[in-house]
Structure 1
Amino acid sequence: MIKTALWLVSEIGEGNIFTKEQHRDAFPGISQADRRMRDLRDFGWVIHTNTDDITLRSEEQRFVTAGLPVWEPGVRRRATSSSISAKQRKAIFAADDYQCVVCGIAGGEVYLDAANDTAVLAVTRRSVRLPGGAVQEKLVTECKRCRAGNGTDEPVDVARLLSDIRNLDETERARLMRWMERGRRGASPIDRAWTRYRRLPADSRDAVFKQLRG
């Protein structure tokens, strides 16, 4: 795993694409080389396959960003002590009804705007600022899309959230409460229409737009 990490940093470079064959050729005779690379993800290394990035071919992977320097003494031991266990992961998935807390998609469900793209769930860490001001780290379920798009470390402010909800008008607040009761938002007719429209090829979108406009 350490050799793979050093190879990614020195030979591939962040943001670049490589193939599984390139990785195996770099370490001839090493068994389960692919598994050693996957192990890096437990230490914050981001390596995308075609399930994470639809622009990649099946044999390609992208080295997105390096994580902890696993070649330094003691780094892996300290990271392992704070890693998410399989038992924790199972409990979080169950608590979140096996759905992404951001978009509500379930594991294995197909994204509405991409017929060949299914949701893969993962447990991620989320900082939450409690009404008293204390910040705690919580574990939540996110799909691969929402996880990739979560580029901020700003804690979720519970007091601000409550204030925003109380400032909603009665109709909006009632609608939000229904979403909370169901545990997911659910798409409105206009959401579904927009999603189907966006899935059309460009010329078909133009034709629909022109017909409605006319």
Structure 2
Amino acid sequence: MENKNTGKPDCGCDPYLLSLIETPQGQQPIAKKSNRSTGLILASITGGAAIALSVVCFPFVSPALRRVVLPYAPASTQQVENVMKALSNSSNKGKRLIDLGSGDGRIVLAAGQRGFQSHGVELNTVLVLYSKLAAWRQRIKNATFSRQDLFKVDYTKYNNIVIFGVEEMMPELEALFEKSLTSSSQIIACRFPLPNWKPSYVVGEGIDTVWVYEV
């Protein structure tokens, strides 16, 4: 039956109860509002996560945008041991060491524990902070780190230069060393040798090989 006053079907229900369940004109249903709010929350969470990920990853990606790239690849335990052997074989060279592209600082820390005044240069800010924290926790006061371009280092301060380079950059480093090293220095190249210099001796084999050049 149709209600003469409203023009709507009359189900015999109380008009007051019907008014409670009807959606007022111009108002969105509650379910639609809830879906919209949920969508906004999810979008905010996704956007926030993307921004946070960008902030965390930027220090690792930014060095790749530079002219010279030293990708972060931690030295193996055997590589560290080979570098330490090379250092022990040349104690007459002095106790000042610099590690180019020091990464998480393990070479610098190991050398510091053996009495070297060791310093690591690294472009990645996160790795520099991590290395400083490791030196502090291990109480190695003669191991220091800085964020610096390896082409702007004063190499005359150091007797031992350790480099974990990539093959493409070794010729440029070789030219740099020819101009800037003193006569009492040695270079310890890991993973890739200098292209034109003949090493004084070699420690290890395979990926853990260390080439030692006495200047």
- Give the TM-score category using the shorter length: under 0.3
TM-score normalised over the length of structure 2? 0.20
Higher relative contact order (CA 8 A, sep 6+): 2
Q: Which TM-score applies when normalising by structure 1?
A: 0.21
Structure label with greater radius of gyration: 2
